[in-house]
Amino acid sequence: MYVWTTPRKLALAALCTATLPLSTASAQQATEIQISYSNGQFQPHEVRAPADKPVVFRIRNLDGKAMEFESTSLRVEKVVTAKSQGVINVRALKAGRYEFYDDFNEKARGTLVVE
């Protein structure tokens, strides 16, 4: 049987407490971008985010059919069903232009500009 002594309990509590602010800070640093998909097009077509910070896309599909948000350069893809919302988390990015599109309708295109 293992006995938890007070010094061990304090050390464990300190370790757990020390890691909490890091994970909370990381979540707060993400840049949120809201995009609508309607009539087969993204609105807005171009969005911006700061470099070296994670990005969270919140996509509202207002159309009556599913769409697939896809980007090779962002390394993401997600089907968003009709009349619903989807969330995509993207790693921190370097400065540049990142194209995205609807895989079901390749005429629907957009750009994320990271500065």
Q: Which domain holds residue 42?
A: 30-114
Give pLDDT tens digits for 90-100: 999 999 999 99
Pull the structure tokens for residue 106.
């390749």
CA distance 94 to 82: 32
Residue 14 lies inside a defined structural domain of this protein:
no
The pLDDT value given to residue 106 = 84
Average pLDDT per 10 consecutive residues for the chain, totaling 115 residues: 55 49 56 97 97 97 97 96 98 97 95 97
Residue 19 lies inside a defined structural domain of this protein:
no
Report how many domains make up the chain. Answer: 1
CATH number of the structural domain spanning residue 75: 2.60.40.420
Sheet order of strands, 41-43 included:
41-43, 31-38, 55-61, 84-90
Residue 86 forms beta bridges with which residues? 59
